[in-house]
């Protein structure tokens, strides 16, 4: 946060390692230096509680198809702190128009008086409907209970990696401290790409992140502890049997 920085965007959770940043502390430091600071919360929303107003965060955005469980095509979301509501979006869209006059089809743009001014287009109805149902379940479960289960599951997964997979060259690349951990675990191995490919054939669906990370993300609303144990057992058996060794090292497509 040097004097030449006016605006910055950081992730709430580092997408490779799963490290959770201290959003409150960073937001306070940015305010002290006159820096507008936003957070990409795609890897934390739905699994980590956030208090953006209380923390004084300038803005934040996130998808809803990960831990929020909205599924493919679900709308994205945006938080804009009230102190910025007087600003106008650089890219105005008709969905950001004042709601009471939106359908009068004026030739000029009259922005909404809230964060809604930054909306651009009509949300997809099917995606929004799925998200609505998913949010009902999250509210019923409670984000703090979800976070508690998530931490227990990632802790369990990391301990299994340490005891069952470490002898095979695997390591945990995620912070062990609960306060510094998001909802996923970075499983590191020098042959991560081929192992990631081989375990998919056995029904374990992680993803790969260069250069050596297999990312495992239990979703606490529907992933059980038994699921986690079985996944580790599959990874262990597949690696012990060398199922990955005959696979190509060439990386293809999105994982």
Which element (helix H / strand E) includes 156? helix 143-160
Judgement on whether residues 115 and 166 belong to the same structural domain of the protein: no
DSSP E strand boundaries for 155-252: 171-172, 185-188, 207-209, 213-216
Q: Degrees (nearest 5) of the Cα angle 226, 232, 234? A: 100
Question: Band of the pLDDT at 250, cuts 50, 70, 90?
Answer: confident
Domain boundary at 141, 176, 202, which?
Answer: 141
User: Residue 151 maps to which CATH number?
Assistant: 3.90.1150.10
pLDDT of residue 72: 86
Question: Band of the pLDDT at 39, cuts 50, 70, 90?
Answer: very high
Residue 165, φ and ψ in degrees, nearest 5: -105, -20
> In the predicted model, is pLDDT for residue 255 greater than 90?
no
Judgement on whether residues 66 and 124 belong to the same structural domain of the protein: yes
pLDDT of residue 253: 67
pTM of the model: 0.91
Residue 16, φ and ψ in degrees, nearest 5: -85, -55
Which element (helix H / strand E) includes 143? helix 143-160
**How many domains does the chain divide into?**
2
Give the SS3 label for residue 41: coil
pLDDT of residue 142: 98
118-166: pLDDT as tens digits: 999 888 889 899 999 999 999 999 999 999 999 999 999 999 999 999 9
Tell me whether residue 85 is in a domain. Answer: yes
pLDDT of residue 44: 97
pLDDT of residue 254: 61
Share of residues in the chain with pLDDT > 90 (%): 89
Tell me whether residue 251 is in a domain. Answer: no
> In the predicted model, is pLDDT for residue 111 greater than 80?
yes
Token pair in block for residue 90: 């650089």
Question: Band of the pLDDT at 205, cuts 50, 70, 90?
Answer: very high
């Amino acid at each position: 946060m040097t004097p030449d920085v006016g605006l910055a965007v950081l992730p709430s959770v580092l997408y490779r390692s799963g490290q959770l940043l201290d959003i409150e502390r960073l937001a306070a430091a940015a305010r002290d230096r006159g820096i507008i600071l936003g957070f990409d919360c795609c890897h934390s929303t739905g699994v980590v509680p956030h208090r953006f107003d209380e923390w004084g965060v300038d803005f934040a955005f996130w998808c809803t198809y990960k831990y929020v469980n909205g599924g493919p095509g679900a709308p994205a979301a945006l938080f804009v702190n009230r102190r910025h509501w007087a600003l106008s979006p650089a890219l105005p869209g008709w969905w950001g128009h004042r709601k009471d006059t939106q359908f009068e089809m004026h030739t000029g743009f009259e922005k909404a008086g809230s964060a809604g001014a930054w909306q651009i287009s009509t949300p997809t109805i099917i995606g929004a409907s799925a998200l609505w149902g998913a949010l009902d379940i999250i509210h019923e479960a409670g984000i703090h209970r979800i976070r508690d289960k998530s931490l227990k599951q990632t802790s369990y997964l990391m301990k299994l990696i340490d005891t069952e997979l470490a002898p095979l060259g695997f390591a945990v690349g995620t912070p062990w401290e609960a306060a510094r951990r998001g909802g996923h675990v970075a499983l590191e191995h020098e042959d991560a790409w081929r192992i990631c490919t081989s375990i998919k054939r056995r029904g374990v669906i992680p993803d790969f992140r260069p250069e050596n990370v297999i990312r495992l993300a239990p979703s606490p609303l529907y992933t059980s502890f038994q699921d986690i144990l079985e996944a580790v057992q599959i990874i262990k058996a597949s690696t012990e049997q060398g199922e990955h060794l005959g696979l190509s090292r060439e990386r293809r497509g999105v994982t």
